[in-house]
Chains A and B, each alone.
Chain A
């Protein structure tokens, strides 16, 4: 197909590079430098999709980020992306796109039946119906509505693309590369400031690319190119196209998304698709320009109705005519500029100007060119379904309320200009309270809140001369403040056509007897009548109007609709626009890919993975790992076809009969040094610490101030003023922070330093009746006898030339030791233990066997210390000092904590000694009681006791201390289990703790 709407010799596209692409299955051609939108229009394609609610035909409305209509499904490099704006998507070879939200096709869409039912579907209709019968909402109506809603289709395939993050600092961040952006970047850069200039489009220059102006004897475009060329060479300047500053956050932190590969057929190797920039700027210059706003009239959503500035951009940048019989409908001089461009290219436009008799250079130019201008005229309605075919026009009275006789004129597009709305999003996001500017009928930024300044059109300044002047000056002043330089650049001579004031007219009244839909929000199908209904029903706050009608809530976030919505509300409510107020602007300015926000932290990298120095050994020895916080720990070591249960039982049994070794590197370790270290421990732990001798370890429990157990572990006195604390894996970071809090803020008088040494030491727990014999072989020169290294003793040793710490502490309730060496020697230590241990039938054991061992010994751990229990609940009252004060002690006097029937940890054994008890089950008195069945407690941990060869569990049970010997039921309705059980002591094996002391 030929590009029959493409002009010759006009535009900035590369005509030497023809590009083929497909839309809705049909092949077309465009040029390098096209957007999908410009290429489709060049081919005469205007029907691009269907609207959200009524499924009305949709074409192109704008030429960039403000586009409400032209949304497509994009296929690129074997993947698909929904909701791509055709006006933003640059054309690449082999691009494939399809329409969204229509079935079976965009030309014949079944959903369009809604268009005929539209009188029954006003704003909020769904709140008033679909309520009967009761179950039908979820089962019938809602699925239907869900299917009809949504735009594109999300692929559930994993994203193969890569996204990166970059952190940057600068003196000035300049958002937008139009006249004010370029001028301020140039002035600041010449004054030595570090500048980042961001442009959302692929081309720099903004309106300079399309407007007929002269700066310093150059056309606007040439001047822009000259500035960009100079900036590119400057080392203190970063200029980025395809980069949108979308969010203005606290403390002058701005975030920009850079599209690196979206315009290419596929992402280059090692390149990201997009890059997210976190930019901390000393000063921010917002030169985001303005967006043309529509005039509202009947059927103003018909394909072919578009913004006049967009028509001009398609013509001047892409060499594309949006129509060959254009009608320009304007209330200001901007429409004339578009008309003049048409005329210059051999097309005869007709201008309808709502004004009676405007006097300006531009109007005179148009007259001179012989353009047909009708003053005091309006478009009443567009005619045509899938494309504008003609327009009903009429003369309008001076008071803008009476329409003259309707005439119909042929046209194939209607270019609308209802004046300009400054893009105040970033300023508003920064916290700037915007103010209403009567002269331009729009909000502009007010007093700066953060270090931000808005310039040019974004600030409601619409003359080039003034824009350039203020930009040069502001950028100079700001950069001078930062760099102390004072290099002023000379101000160029500016020639621009003078324009006159616009007409504050924005909505064409309905002619008598006609009920045209006049749309405000084109994507969400919100019409004037919808706003009227909302207000009539009392939804009067602008936020109520927005939420009730969905005005401005589509993917364009109301860039072309919000202000007209406000005007309408203010008119009906008889309030001035600022009294109605606008809804809040929030980031992002336009939608940002979630992949870009997340960056590289995906898949395995979504959180760090920590491995012990012995990890490779575990892997080589068939360890099956389990996540323990961010750590990976061996859960069991698989031999042959063993499952978890068999392997852990074997490992646990081997600990009870021979000796086992377990990697305990992941335990938190904190080095505590200083003369007051003992005092600190005494305040942090619930038990007494002042008399712990050097070379001894002690078990301790620490509380939060609310009395709840925070963590437990052993601390060893290495030397006079030096202690080594261990914490659980999960709480390591919290405990360190907790200690630092008290040392720095509460008790700064204590002379103590703490530092994490978790990574410094590799740890191996050696447990079992033969552990002492093994230890003696590992450390032949140490006396590790019962007397030489008693329970809770500590010594240093030499492990085949490696310095080691030896602790006689036990996690498993067995005779046990823990050996620590510096991390680099961890693997050496482990291999030596295994090697020497062969003679004692050593086996490594994982966390599952460790759990079994500690459960049958009644040692409480994570599932009992779950942030809800006090020491008494865990039978740790022996560790709670009555004499001294400690963190959280005052809370232990609370009524609930001292109640007679307070919960307590107990042991649970099934009466049949066979049935395993699932963890997370509950204990009840009567398994047949009606619901809700009162729960007495829950099963916190279960194991298969290797000692007694039957199931055993721990439970936290109400009135636990008086329940020993009672018979209850364990219930797990989730697993359909009811198990009669007996409550026993939690210390099921070796209740007196003789083994650890043996």
Chain B
């Protein structure tokens, strides 16, 4: 168990960056850059172990209770 102070937040983990050179609509691009669901309850999000191994990880956390359910490495896909 590591201190929260060692980690930095990286936002919604389900947002996918559009592929390079792909022709996409303004809406798709804005959904990536600006628009977020940010709901109450379970939330997959990114954290970086900034003051540590510097790995980005994916964390499933409850935004209402702060309970943590699940973690994945950067290269693992969120199954739901």
Contacts and interface: CB of A to CB of B under 8 A. Distances in A.
Contacts of A431: 65
B3 to A, nearest CB: 8
Nearest to A895: B26
A440 to B, nearest CB: 28
A5 B62 CA distance: 57
B56 A706 contact: no
Interface string B20-62: 1100100001001110000000000010101000111000000
A626 B56 CA distance: 34
A748 B54 contact: no
A744 B56 contact: yes
Given A746-B17, A748-B74, A885-B21, A740 B29 contact: no
Contact of B10 (A167, A280, A741, A884): A741
B48 to A, nearest CB: 6
Contacts of A250: 66-67
A167 to B, nearest CB: 8
Nearest to A250: B66
B25 to A, nearest CB: 10
A280 B5 CA distance: 14
B48 A737 contact: yes
Contacts of B32: 705
B9 to A, nearest CB: 11
Interface string A868-911: 00000000000000001110001100000000000000000000
Contact of A683 (B20, B29, B50, B75): B20
Nearest to B54: A740
Q: Which of B3, B46, B54 has the most CB of A within 10 A?
A: B54
B1 A280 contact: yes
A740 B24 contact: no
A748 B56 CA distance: 12
Contacts of B74: 744-745, 748
A705 B56 contact: no
B50 to A, nearest CB: 7
Contact of A891 (B29, B50, B54): B29
Nearest to B75: A748
Interface string A400-422: 00000000000000000000000
Contact of A737 (B8, B29, B65): B8
Contact of B33 (A280, A449, A705, A886): A705
B44 to A, nearest CB: 12
B33 A737 contact: no
Interface string A539-553: 000000000000000
Interface string A725-758: 0000000000001001100111010000000000
A799 to B, nearest CB: 32
B48 A740 contact: yes
A706 B33 contact: yes
A737 B55 contact: no
A745 B20 CA distance: 14
Given A737-B8, A740-B54, A748-B75, A885 B20 contact: yes
A251 interface: yes
B74 to A, nearest CB: 4
Contacts of A706: 33-34
B17 A890 contact: no
Contacts of A884: 21
A997 B76 CA distance: 49
A683 to B, nearest CB: 7
A599 to B, nearest CB: 13
B24 A890 contact: yes
Given A705-B32, A706-B33, A744 B75 contact: yes
Contacts of A167: 3
A440 B56 CA distance: 51
B56 A740 contact: yes
A885 B29 CA distance: 14
Given A706-B33, A885-B21, A891-B29, A745 B46 contact: yes
A884 B20 CA distance: 9
B55 A744 contact: yes
Q: Which of A251, A745, A885 has the most CB of B within 10 A?
A: A745
A705 B29 CA distance: 10
A683 B65 CA distance: 38
A891 B33 CA distance: 9
Contacts of B3: 167
A395 to B, nearest CB: 52
Contact of B29 (A251, A744, A890): A890
Q: Which of B20, B21, B56 has the most CB of A within 10 A?
A: B20
Nearest to B17: A746
Contacts of A740: 48, 54, 56
Contacts of A746: 17
Contacts of B33: 705-706, 891
Nearest to B48: A737
Interface string A666-705: 0000000000000000010000000000000000000001
A473 to B, nearest CB: 28
A329 to B, nearest CB: 43
A712 to B, nearest CB: 21
A683 B18 CA distance: 13
Interface in A447-464: 449
B75 to A, nearest CB: 5
Nearest to B10: A741
Nearest to A169: B1
A890 B65 CA distance: 37
Nearest to B1: A280
Contacts of B50: 737
A737 B52 CA distance: 12
A558 to B, nearest CB: 25
B71 to A, nearest CB: 13
Nearest to B65: A431
Nearest to A705: B33
A228 B2 CA distance: 32
Nearest to B32: A705
Contacts of B54: 740
Interface string A268-290: 00000000000010000000000
A251 B56 contact: no
A705 B18 CA distance: 11
B18 to A, nearest CB: 8
A587 to B, nearest CB: 14
A869 B33 CA distance: 17
Contacts of A891: 29, 33
B68 A251 contact: yes
Interface string A423-467: 000000001000000000000000001000000000000000000
A737 B50 CA distance: 8
Nearest to A278: B3
Contact of B48 (A280, A449, A741, A890): A741
Contacts of B34: 706
Given A280-B1, A885-B21, A745 B56 contact: yes
Given A251-B68, A705-B17, A744-B56, 8 more contacts: A280-B1, A431-B65, A449-B65, A741-B56, A745-B46, A745-B74, A884-B21, A885-B20
12 contacts: A167-B3, A250-B66, A683-B20, A705-B17, A705-B33, A706-B33, A740-B48, A744-B74, A745-B46, A745-B56, A885-B20, A890-B24
Interface of A: 167, 250-251, 280, 431, 449, 683, 705-706, 737, 740-741, 744-746, 748, 884-886, 890-891
Report, nearest first, the 6 A-B pairs whose CB atoms are least far apart: A744-B74, A885-B20, A250-B66, A744-B56, A885-B21, A890-B29
Interface of B: 1, 3, 8, 10, 17-18, 20-21, 24, 29, 32-34, 46, 48, 50, 54-56, 65-68, 74-75
